[in-house]
Amino acid sequence: MDRSRLEAFSDGVFAVAITLLALDLTVAGPTGHGSLTDQLHEKWPAFLAYLISFFMIGIVWVNHHALVRSIIKVDRTLLFLNLVLLLFVVLIPFATATVADYFSEDDWDTQVAMMLYGGVFLGMSAGFGAIFEWTLHGRRVYQPLPPERHWAARARFVGGGLVYVVAILVALFSAIASFALIALVAVYYIVERTPVYPGPGDAGSDQPVLLACYPDE
Amino acid sequence: MDRSRLEAFSDGVFAVAITLLALDLTVAGPTGHGSLTDQLHEKWPAFLAYLISFFMIGIVWVNHHALVRSIIKVDRTLLFLNLVLLLFVVLIPFATATVADYFSEDDWDTQVAMMLYGGVFLGMSAGFGAIFEWTLHGRRVYQPLPPERHWAARARFVGGGLVYVVAILVALFSAIASFALIALVAVYYIVERTPVYPGPGDAGSDQPVLLACYPDE
Amino acid sequence: MDRSRLEAFSDGVFAVAITLLALDLTVAGPTGHGSLTDQLHEKWPAFLAYLISFFMIGIVWVNHHALVRSIIKVDRTLLFLNLVLLLFVVLIPFATATVADYFSEDDWDTQVAMMLYGGVFLGMSAGFGAIFEWTLHGRRVYQPLPPERHWAARARFVGGGLVYVVAILVALFSAIASFALIALVAVYYIVERTPVYPGPGDAGSDQPVLLACYPDE
Amino acid sequence: MDRSRLEAFSDGVFAVAITLLALDLTVAGPTGHGSLTDQLHEKWPAFLAYLISFFMIGIVWVNHHALVRSIIKVDRTLLFLNLVLLLFVVLIPFATATVADYFSEDDWDTQVAMMLYGGVFLGMSAGFGAIFEWTLHGRRVYQPLPPERHWAARARFVGGGLVYVVAILVALFSAIASFALIALVAVYYIVERTPVYPGPGDAGSDQPVLLACYPDE
């Protein structure tokens, strides 16, 4: 099986999910809901959650992009691991909307909403980690990692997932601290780069010239 | 006509439909609808239906992907058979939302909702079977099935459709048994693989090297 | 400019619009809206409108597909004519939902809804005709029509548009007759094939072998 | 990294955002909301805002298309600048819906809605300008602008952004004047063409023949 439809379908899901994020931003309309400025002002958690979720989906798309292009051949297992990743990506607009709706309340419900939010990111992180684990076995990528570097690479993924576990635990005590922690993760990921396999066409690659004909090069 | 836009359009519809599934998960908001934990708890049929429908669409996408790439040339008949398949794919979010809304009621309406849910999957299955039937005639796929294997292959498709007929009939007596049956079908399809034509580029293919230039290889 | 992004963007819009059609099918939920069977029964205009609009968008996608692939080079004018076509495609879910909501009323509003529905299809037809007109001038398609066949080809497009004008006029007297007429047009388009330019790769084409490397062949 | 998934993802977001614009056009239904003709009549700001936003997204897509295809190699910085652009594209349906809901009020809220509308276009313009700025440095496009033309090219972008600043300031005094100004910008952009780099395959390009194998040529 070829990579291009896996990419096309995943890109479609990422694109729809990232655009649906803004659906929850709608204000209630002119009749009987207070002034527009007040409404926009009260919606700050919605805007912050939109911003965080937008960049989280964007980052996962960037990393997905980089990981998938290093893969030689798509098999059925990879397609289902990819579906698991997308299962959580599709839940992000729902989790974002729940945080946005409940954040101003500042009670147990707000903390539950934050746990849901952290949980969806944890699931997404686990789905991505499973795809990465798949790439470590057999001859599945153009330039495989040497076995002695497997554990160091895994440690990074587990570390990323642990931050979400901490964010979920922190939400048991303070929703706003949990929100701040997840926002920091988003900022960190924008600055730091996930190490990826060098793909065909990258510097150091010894792919023959004809590969320039492959549709995603 | 070329395969790539058929794939691009179908991938788009699959991607939008699978992402819209989560639109029905929204909770009602903080004012006057009970606590968030209660709401999430009561929504278990919505989450289960989301999970089943997500993997059903995912599986059909995987199988569609595998079937279409074995096709040499797209004609107008195939485009319309594909539209029939997509007609039912697009109805899945609607059927899923109806099951989610009515499941906790446990009355005749719940059973009607389950019949609708099973009916949409039956239609999707029939649409997919029609595309498969189309591939059996003429020189339409790279490596056609020998005629003596046509009936065995058809039997698998008819068998898949029959499960949905049973699920619809079971819903006349018990919505939950019907739901469980459809969930089992989803699990079965994740584990079992639909036999597909070997495509160009697969082991055993004798396609010339220049085919590496085709955009979907 | 290249064809592939024009196709990708248009396919995306067609795919989203066709999937959003089903968003209006949602039933009102179990509390205080009558039984599910009654609701589904009363929604027959919604299901019929969904069916018609689904195949109308599908047909335009098929024809768009066939027309665009015959084009050698995309220019800015074509991009804007394509946007005009898409402007009306995007309005179809809105017009469909309006027909679905108002059809059971059977009063002036129903007739207005039908005029809106016919008007959106008329606009879509005009947008498609404008793209076809663009292909008639200069060296824009691989195998241009000889000038003496221009008027015959145009007549077919104008004829298609006239049916919608008639449907709008009929709606002034009877919404249901107008609905039936538009349904007949959809059925006609599924059966009849719009004549298109032969593209590269079709029988009769004299494209060199290297064109097999072009991404949409 | 390759251009094709950047284009596919961006095309997906543009396509979904442009289609979601029409979601706000829904009329309220037959019961107790006045006649359909009245409702459609009162919704003129919604239709006008739909039209403007549709062409604004369409124009940015056309220009994005032209700019990205001139880029030799996508890096991580470009991916994030592109996400910033898309962040504002995704907000357009929200801003459009807010203008549509508040326009008929003609009070401070209407002016706030127009400022929001202008602000989203300003952000989109800044995001596009940042991508353009990125193309000015290093060997990033096939045919770079000579340094002496950098400032003239930048001036055009800054000029475009300034119009939105003026539209936001005008909204402090008159919402309708601000609306008219933004409508004029949309009309201007349809007529005038943003200067873009000549891409490979354009007249004047000296790309070797093998580039015809690249997927977006």
DSSP B109-178: HHHHHHHHHHHHHHHHHHHHHHHHHHHTSSS-BSSPPPGGGHHHHHHHHHHHHHHHHHHHHHHTT-HHHH
Residue D213 has pLDDT above 90, yes or no: no
Chain B residues whose beta carbon lies within 8 Å of the beta carbon of residue D12? 12, 15
Q: D interface mutation test: which of A5, A23, A36 has the most D CBs within 10 A?
A: A36
Q: Across residues A83-95, what is the average pLDDT?
A: 95
Q: Over pLDDT 70: what percentage of chain A?
A: 86
Taking an 8 Å cut-off on Cβ atoms, the answer to whether D116 and A7 are in contact is no
Chains linked to C by 3 or more Cβ pairs within 8 Å: A, B, D
pLDDT at D196: 57
**What are C63-119's pLDDT values in tens digits?**
898 888 889 888 888 988 999 999 999 999 999 999 988 887 668 888 999 999 999
For the purposes of burial, counting CB atoms within 10 Å of the CB of B153, is it exposed (0-12), middle (13-18) or buried (19 or more)? middle
In order, the DSSP letters of A124-152 are: HHHHHHHHHHHHTSSS-BSSPPPGGGHHH
Could you tell me if A25 and A47 are in contact, meaning their C-beta atoms sit under 8 angstroms apart?
A: yes
pLDDT at D36: 84
Q: What is the band of D205 on the pLDDT scale with cuts at 50, 70, 90?
A: very low
CA C38, C42, C43, C44 torsion-angle sign: positive
Could you tell me if D182 and D125 are in contact, meaning their C-beta atoms sit under 8 angstroms apart?
A: no
Which of A203-217, B30-44, C145-159 has the highest average model confidence (pLDDT)? C145-159
Q: A interface mutation test: which of C13, C14, C16, C20 has the most A CBs within 10 A?
A: C16
In the structure encoding, which two tokens stand for residue B195, read together? 């036999």
Q: Please name the residue that has the structure tokens 């980089």.
A: A66
pLDDT at B39: 83
* Nearest-CA distance C27 → chain B (Å): 7
List the alpha helices (DSSP H) in C136-174.
Answer: 150-171
Residue A99's nearest CA partner among A87, A116, A86 is A116
pLDDT at D214: 31
**Contacting C residues, span 156-215, partner chain A, CB-CB under 8 Å:** 213, 215
The region of weakest confidence among A39-53, A71-85, B29-43, B63-77 is B29-43
pLDDT at D161: 87
- Contact status of A12 with chain B (Cβ, < 8 Å): yes
- CA dihedral A127→B90→D58→C73, nearest 10 degrees, is 100
Q: Across residues A119-130, what is the average pLDDT?
A: 94
Chains linked to A by 3 or more Cβ pairs within 8 Å: B, C, D
**Contacting B residues, span 99-128, partner chain A, CB-CB under 8 Å:** none
Residue C213 has pLDDT above 60, yes or no: no
Count how many residues are written for chain A.
217
* Closest residue on chain D to B211 (Cα): D213
In the structure encoding, which two tokens stand for residue D105, read together? 């009020």
| A197 vs A138, higher pLDDT | A138
pLDDT at B5: 80
Q: Across residues B18-26, what is the average pLDDT?
A: 87
pLDDT at A196: 57
Taking an 8 Å cut-off on Cβ atoms, the answer to whether A18 and D97 are in contact is no
Among B14, B26, B36, whose Cβ lies nearest the Cβ of A9? B14
Q: Across residues B36-46, what is the average pLDDT?
A: 85
Chain D residues whose beta carbon lies within 8 Å of the beta carbon of residue A22? 90-91, 93-94
**Contacting B residues, span 26-65, partner chain D, CB-CB under 8 Å:** none
pLDDT at A8: 86
Q: What pTM did the predictor assign?
A: 0.87
pLDDT at A170: 94
For the purposes of burial, counting CB atoms within 10 Å of the CB of D185, is it exposed (0-12), middle (13-18) or buried (19 or more)? buried
| B200 vs A127, higher pLDDT | A127
Taking an 8 Å cut-off on Cβ atoms, the answer to whether A210 and B212 are in contact is yes
Q: What is the DSSP letter of A71?
A: B
* Nearest-CA distance C41 → chain B (Å): 12
The region of weakest confidence among A141-145, B82-86, D160-164, D174-178 is A141-145
In the structure encoding, which two tokens stand for residue D53, read together? 């936003």
Residue D121 has pLDDT above 90, yes or no: yes
List of residues 6+ apart from C195 with CB closer than 8 A: C153, C156
Taking an 8 Å cut-off on Cβ atoms, the answer to whether B90 and C190 are in contact is no
Residue B184 has pLDDT above 50, yes or no: yes
Q: What is the band of C217 on the pLDDT scale with cuts at 50, 70, 90?
A: very low
Could you tell me if D103 and D31 are in contact, meaning their C-beta atoms sit under 8 angstroms apart?
A: no
Phi, psi at D33, each rounded to 5°: -130, 20
Q: What is the band of C204 on the pLDDT scale with cuts at 50, 70, 90?
A: very low
Chain B residues whose beta carbon lies within 8 Å of the beta carbon of residue C65? 1, 5, 9, 79
* Closest residue on chain A to C217 (Cα): A215
In the structure encoding, which two tokens stand for residue D48, read together? 């006008």
Question: What span, in angstroms and rounded, lies between the C-alpha atoms of B61 and B189?
Answer: 12
pLDDT at D179: 92
pLDDT at D118: 95
How far apart, in Å, are the Cα atoms of C5 and each of A79, B26, C91, D191? 26, 34, 22, 21
Residue A216 has pLDDT above 60, yes or no: no
Taking an 8 Å cut-off on Cβ atoms, the answer to whether C215 and A215 are in contact is yes
**What are C17-46's pLDDT values in tens digits?**
999 998 888 777 777 667 888 888 888 888
Question: What span, in angstroms and rounded, lies between the C-alpha atoms of A47 and D201?
Answer: 43
Residue B193 has pLDDT above 70, yes or no: no
Taking an 8 Å cut-off on Cβ atoms, the answer to whether B1 and C65 are in contact is yes
Residue B10's nearest CA partner among B64, B53, B58 is B64
Q: Please name the residue that has the structure tokens 């684990």.
A: A133
Taking an 8 Å cut-off on Cβ atoms, the answer to whether D12 and A14 are in contact is yes
Q: Across residues A130-149, what is the average pLDDT?
A: 88
Average pLDDT of chain C is 83
Question: What span, in angstroms and rounded, lies between the C-alpha atoms of C31 and C39?
Answer: 12
Residue A141 has pLDDT above 70, yes or no: yes
Q: What is the band of B115 on the pLDDT scale with cuts at 50, 70, 90?
A: very high
pLDDT at B199: 47
Residue B204 has pLDDT above 80, yes or no: no
Q: Over pLDDT 70: what percentage of chain B?
A: 86
The region of weakest confidence among A11-25, B117-131, C178-192 is C178-192
Taking an 8 Å cut-off on Cβ atoms, the answer to whether A215 and C213 are in contact is no
Chain C residues whose beta carbon lies within 8 Å of the beta carbon of residue B80? 58, 62, 190
Average pLDDT of chain D is 83
Helix-helix angle C3-20:B3-20, to 10 degrees: 40
Q: Across residues C117-143, what is the average pLDDT?
A: 91
Among A30, A61, A66, whose Cβ lies nearest the Cβ of D1? A66
**What are D150-169's pLDDT values in tens digits?**
888 888 778 888 999 999 99
**What are D70-120's pLDDT values in tens digits?**
898 888 889 889 999 999 999 999 999 999 888 876 688 889 999 999 999
Q: Over pLDDT 70: what percentage of chain C?
A: 86
pLDDT at D209: 28
* Nearest-CA distance D213 → chain B (Å): 7
User: For residue D61, what is the enclosing H or E element?
Assistant: helix D44-68
